[in-house]
Every structure is written in structure tokens, then in C-alpha cells.
Amino acid sequence: MTDVTSAPRELRKGANVAIRDLGGELGGLTVFLDSRGHDGETIDADVSVLLLDASGKVRSSADFVFYNQPIALNGAVHLRDKLVPEPDSDEAAAGWSSDVVTLELDDVPQEIERIVVAASLDASTARTFGDAAGVRLRLQRSSDAADLLVFDIDDATTESALVFGEFYRRDEDWKIRAVGRGYQAGLAALVTEHGVDVSEEADEPEGPEAPAVDETPDEAPAPPGDAEQAPAPPMPAEVDDDTGTSSPATPAKRSVSVRRPTRAPRLPVDWNASIPADDGNDWQAARLFPVAGIGSGEEQERRATSALLAVMSMVREFGAALTGRCGAPRGTITTYIEVPFGQDEEAYRPDGVIQVRRGTREWTALVEVKTSTGRLNVEQIEKYVEIARARGYDAVITISNELAGGDADHPVAVDRRKLRKVSLHHLSWDQIRAEAVLAARHRGVSDATQAKVLEEFIRYMSHARSGMGGLGDMGPSWVKLRDAVKSKTARASDKATGEISARFDELIQHLGHHMTGLLGVEVQSLAPREAPDHASRRQQLADSGLMFGRLKVPGAVDVLVVGADLRADKASAAITIGAPRGDTRPLTRVNWLLRQLPDEAKDSIRIEAHMAGPRAVSTAALLGKARQDPSCLVPEEQREIKAFTISLEVPLGNKRAAGTGTLIGSVKGATTTFYADVVQHLRPWVAKVGSPSRAE
């Protein structure tokens, strides 16, 4: 949770307050729905947002924001990833977890009069909010993460869906009301009451069934104690007997499914398509950002800076995504290149300046850019921090192909004492490219011309001569460490061991950004965060030549484990999935898994079945053999199978750079191929209603 210097206002059930009275900027708000279980257990709640017009109903299914549809109004309402506290924090020990919604109220159209924020529990768990040890709503100002308001809900009992609060217009102003109203019948009952047409059909046409959601609305009284009750929704418009059409007040709505997603996002079908062959002519298409004529590294850097800053100011969705990661408010972006500054009687010229204006507030950051193999310089960065502090600027942003390895927040170790009034942020070209692809091809850009500009910029970034290609090699210590591991002379204390271990962490981040662009969801790299973990990983690399990293894909059945074995010359990718529970036979469980793997999946994929019990017992077979004889994975004495681990190994390249025949290319290829062949097809087991023991 966020520490603040002043206590937030506490709101009681039914009370309301104007956003302006909280000191919050109109629009830039972050809503946290916090929950925790007893004895450190987490409550896995799902947030939803309903955008209501004067009738108290949604205009269409597009006004329903939830896990199957996380964005509305071109990003003005955005359901973010679940926020889990650091493992060693007090919040983690207490079992707190937070669901996050960002609101840009300035961008909400006038016809939307109420924004209802709610949460629900998965119907298959049979849990209610009464099982929670704590449930609350928190409101933050997005610009500086200051807590503005808190509303604790302490009277939940048997409800599986809960309206935490609502934002509503009053006299051209926005207010927030603490609601705390529950629904025993779950999410479907809540959204049906507000005009969402809920589909009774599952999104997935095959595989294990998810429990059906009860759609019977649950009666509950309006929240007490509010002198400004929201108007009661009018009766639906009647159908005209002469024309057979209804009034415009009740537009047709597409049915949506509120079933919780159980399938990982899919790769695009052309994810491994090669570049088309030359058509034979020597005509070159005119490009908005040409690579022709790039000479020196200085010219490459200047072009990259100008192109990036120009696109940030031109394409609002892209610029807001990048500046938002650096703490800027959402507003009008203006950019400059090579702005001269005087400091300590010397002249300095940062590569760029970004200014964001929102109302009377102005946020300013200095920008330092490196391309290709250019490395950031600590003395230069610290000097820019001094310039920013002297002028009252907010931040310094560095951009390069470097990624922060290990547990660092920045590729360069800057004296933290210098950052008391100025924040320091790093954006890698990998991260910038992923944000551009997300905006252009997944989230969408509202203006068609701006969308074309962003596509041109993506094309420019992807060209080898742009210098913006991302992680390019395993570093100068790669050959030395590789040879030492093979000859068994590597030691954990060697400088090269530490450098390559940290570089592999950077490779995992690179993979995360790569998969983010392909899948359209933010794939998180889970690098180790503690010194003992780093030490053990260096020891493992020296002793056995093994390196591992993890990727968390929203919707996937588990974390994806990516590895490299320098002694066996193998790159690998693996994932674990829980087996069906209950009294199902071991062979039935094996067949349940095999049915999920497509015919295109390689026969060389390895399946390991883990048995229940105190001893680590397992069986293993290649997919080709298991398809012919599923019983080869059945344990002796018909022991219970508790989980399966599926893995793929490919030859590991030994070259330092990226591309074919390299470690980076091998690990990247293994990860993407394994995801395409296995991960995106896997679904967790869910017991059928009335038959929890069957897995068919």
C-alpha cells in the first residue's frame, strides 16, 4: 500500500463527498479495491465497472468493464493488473491484495452520469465477502499516488458481488458515494440490474465446463444516509405497436459472458511469419521515419530521439502510456530536443525535454537517449538530475537498449540522495516498442492518421539500422563464462558469472516485452528480488551451467519457466498445470491433459506427472509416446496424479549476439514456440456443477 504524509478522509456507508473537496485533480484518479483473508490468506476478487446514463443503465455492453473487457471510453476507464504487495511487506503478511482501476473523469462523455465500481468472487469457489477479514475502497490521486479517501466495508455476509462505491455528476462536478451494497447471486445479478444482457453460454465451446452464473437479481435496499440519492431508473421504454421498434432509450445490447477467463491469450497466427521476399524492383517506399542515410552513432541517436518525442506528442494514447509510467499526469504533451541549459558555469544539452500540462499544473522531465550499444553515463545522469532539481523539474528519463538487471530499478547506480526531489526513470527500447504495439494493434488509437504514424514508428524501431532493437547480445563476458562453465572452471565469485547471470535476467525482461507485443497483454518478468536468491543463482550457473527466469502471462494456467543449460546446450520452456481433483482415475487425468494439446504440438515435448504424497515421485514420457499409449504416464499402484509439468527443449546457440545460432535467439524461439504449441491451449480443471469428481 502507498504511504502518504496526510491521512485520507474516511467515508462511512451511504456518505458522499465531492472529488474537488478531496484535493484531487478532476479526472486523474486511481481506485483500489483492497481485500484480505484470515491468517494471511488472499481473497481473489474480480473488479468490474459499470458506466450508466440517466436511465441508470449501460448504453451497450461496451460500458461494462471487467476481466473479459478491461478498457472503455478509449482508456478513460482502465482495469489494471492486480496489485500484489512485496513478499516481505506488512501488507503481504496480512494477506492484502488490490485490484486497480484508473479513471480519467475529464474524458468521460456527458451522457455518462454514474460510474459504479464493484467486485465479485468466482462462483466456483463458493466463497463470499463475509469470509474476508477486510474489504475496503481506497481513492488515490494518480499524479502523486496520494491517498485521498478510504471506505471500509465491515458488514458483508453472504454476498458474492459487492458494489464498493460510485462516482456521479452533481452540478457539473463529480462526487463519490460509499455504497457497500451486496448481491448474493453474484456478478450476473449485479450487472443485469444495470442493463447488461448476460449470456448464458460459455465463451469456450469445448473442454471442462465452468459453473453457470446465477442471474437472479438480489433485492437489497438503497444505501442510507445520503441526502443526494441517485435518481431511480425509469421503466424500460415500451415497444411501438405500429412499428414494432423500441424507443431510443433502450438500444439493443450485445450479450456478454461474465464467466471468468480460463484460457491464456492467443498468439497471432502470423507470429513466426518471415519477411516477404524482395519483389525485384529497386523502388523504395517513402517513409515518415526513414533509415536511409543514417551515418554515425550520433546521427542515429538524434533521429531516434526526435522520432520518439514527436510520436509521443502526436499520438495521445502512446504518449500517455509512456509518461504515465514515469509519474506524469494525463494531459497535453509537448516535446523538445537538445535544449541547452547552463549549470555550474558550464553548458549542458540533454537530448530532449518532455512537458505535460493538465490544467494549471506542468510536469517536466529531462531526457537522455542512447541507441545501439551506447551505455548510460552515471556522471551525466547525475548532472541532469542536478539541473532538474535546480529548475524545479519533476523527473529525468533515460532511454537505451539497456535493461535493469538483477534487483536494480535502473541500469546505472545513481546516488539515491540526489533523487529526493527529482525522480529517475528508465525506459528501454524494448519497453517502448511493446507499448507502441499495445497501443497500435491491441488497445487501439482513436485517430486513424495517428494510428498510421504509430505503425510507421514501430516499423522504424524494428529496423536494424535504427539502433532501437533492444537487447542485442549477452555482453562482453559471455564467451569467457560460456567456456569456463563447459570446462567446469567457473566460480560463483567470478565477475563474469555475476554479469551473465544479471544479463540473463535482462533477457527475461526482453522476452516479457516481446510477448507483450505479440499477445496484447502485459507479460511480467519475475526476476529474483533478494540478494540470497541472486547468490544461489550465480552458484547454480557456476556449478551446473543452468540459468532460469519466469514470465507471468495474464490468463495462463501458471508461470512460464524459461531456462538455458550451458553444459547440455539446451534452451527450455516449461509450465505446470494442476491435475483434475476428486476421485477420477489416473488414466482419466492423463487423457484430460492430452486432449488439450493440439495435433501440431511437437512429439518431443516432455510431460511429467507428479504424484500426491510426501515423496517426490513422478512419471515422464515424450508427447509422441504418450499419445500412442497414455498409460505410460500412469503411476504404479494407480497413485493419484496431482499435477503435470510440460516442457520443451531446443538446441542452444552459443553466439553472443541476437539472432540465429545465439543464446538469445534460442531462448526466445523456445519460449514463443512453446507458448504457441502448449501454453495458449491449456485450461485449468473446473469441476462440473453437480459432478465435482469427473474430469471428462
Strands 341-343, 71-72: parallel, antiparallel or unpaired by DSSP?
A: unpaired
pLDDT digits (tens, 9 = 90+) for 413-426: 887 787 888 999 99
- C-alpha 423: how far from its chain's center? 23
Q: Please choose, from the candidates 166, 190, 193, 170, the residue with its C-alpha nearest in 3D space to the C-alpha of residue 179.
A: 166
Radius of gyration in angstroms for the set of CA atoms belonging to the chain, rounded to a whole number = 27
Calpha distance 86→92 (Å, rounded): 6
Residue intervals in the chain for CATH 3.40.91: 297-466
Q: Residue 9: pLDDT above 50?
A: yes
Burial grade of 269 (CB within 10 A; 0-12, 13-18, 19 or more): exposed
What sign does the dihedral 92-94-97-103 (CA atoms) show?
A: negative
Q: For 621-647, how does the pLDDT look when each residue is reduced to its tens digit (9 = 90+)?
A: 999 999 999 999 988 777 889 999 999
What separation in angstroms does the CA of 81 have from each of 78, 100, 515, 522? 10, 7, 16, 8
Give dist(CA 199, CA 213) in Å, integer.
10
Q: Specify the long-range contacts of residues 239-245, CB closer than 8 Å, at least 24 apart.
A: none
**Distance from CA of residue 61 to its chain's centroid?**
23
150-178 pLDDT per residue, tens: 999 888 888 888 899 999 998 878 999 99
Range with top average pLDDT, 22-31, 467-476, 589-598, 682-691:
589-598
Greatest Cα pair distance in the chain: 90
Stronger pLDDT, 546 or 207, i.e. the higher one: 546
The CA distance from 449 to 307, in Å, is 16
Provide the grid cell at 59.
448504453
Q: How confident is the model at residue 86 (pLDDT cuts 50, 70, 90)?
A: low
Q: In this structure, are residues 537 and 501 in contact, taking their beta carbons and an 8 Å threshold? A: yes
Give me the percent of the chain exceeding a pLDDT of 90.
36
* Superfamily covering domain 9-193: sav2460 like domains (2.60.60.30)
Burial class (CB in 10 A: 0-12, 13-18, 19+), 605: buried
Structure confidence by residue, pLDDT tens digits, 566-582 = 999 999 999 999 999 87
Average pLDDT, the chain: 81
Q: Where in the chain is the domain with CATH 2.60.60.30?
A: 9-193
400 three-class SS? strand
Contact by Cβ (8 Å): 340, 347: yes
Q: Tell me the residue length of the chain.
A: 696
Instruction: Choose among 352, 305, 350, 357: nearest CA to 328.
Output: 357
Amino acid at 395: A
Per the CB < 8 A criterion, the answer to whether 366 and 396 are in contact is: yes
Q: Is the pLDDT of residue 251 over 50?
A: no
What is the model's pLDDT at position 355? Answer: 95
**Range picked from 155-159, 224-228, 678-682 for highest mean pLDDT:** 678-682
First to last CA, the chain: 43
Residue 400's pLDDT is what? 92
Contact 380, 398 (CB under 8 A): no
Q: How far apart are CA 301 and CA 350, in angstroms?
A: 12
DSSP, collapsed to helix, strand or coil, labels residue 476 as coil
Nearest-angstrom CA–CA distance, 516 and 512: 6
CATH 3.40.91 fits 297-466, yes or no: yes
Mean pLDDT within 368-372? 92
**pTM for the complete prediction?**
0.67
Q: What is the pLDDT of residue 125?
A: 65
Q: How far apart, in whole angstroms, are the C-alpha atoms of residue 528 and residue 550? A: 9
For residues 311 and 45, the model is more confident at: 311
Q: 116 and 50 in contact (C-beta within 8 Å)?
A: yes
595 CB-near residues (< 8 Å, 6+ apart): 207
Close Cβ partners of 542 (under 8 Å, ≥ 6 residues apart):
485, 490, 491, 492, 494, 497
Residue 219, by phi and psi: left (phi above 0), alpha (psi -120 to 50) or beta? beta
Question: Is residue 87 classed as helix, strand or coil in its secondary structure?
Answer: coil
Amino acid at 473: D
Question: Does residue 475 carry a pLDDT above 60?
Answer: yes
pLDDT score at 211 = 35
- For residue 226, is pLDDT > 80? no
For residue range 10-60, what is the model confidence (pLDDT) as tens digits?
A: 989 889 998 888 875 555 788 998 888 776 666 778 889 999 999 999 998
Cα distances from 309 to residues 304, 431, 633, in angstroms, run 9, 15, 56
User: What is the Cα–Cα distance from 285 to 189, expressed in whole angstroms?
Assistant: 55
CB 71 within 8 A of CB 79: yes
470, with CB counted inside 10 A (0-12, 13-18, 19+), is: buried
Q: What's the rounded mean pLDDT across residues 344-369?
A: 87
CB 545 within 8 A of CB 565: yes
Q: Which of 64-73, 430-439, 531-540, 639-648 has the lowest mean pLDDT?
A: 531-540
Neighbours of 20 (CB within 10 A): 12
Residue 156, amino acid: A
Question: Which residue did the predictor score with more confidence, 461 or 689?
Answer: 461
Give the mean model confidence (pLDDT) for residues 537-565.
92
Confidence of residue 229 (pLDDT cuts 50, 70, 90): very low
Among 348, 351, 265, which residue's Cα sits nearest to residue 305? 351
In 1-122, which ranges are continuous DSSP H helix? 90-94
Alpha-carbon gap, residue 345 to 553, rounded angstroms:
51
Q: What is the DSSP string of 511-574?
A: HHHHHHHHHSS-PEE----SHHHHHHHHHHHHHH-EEEEEEE-TTSSSPEEEEEETTTTEEEEE
The phi, psi pair for 331, rounded to 5°, reads -170, -160
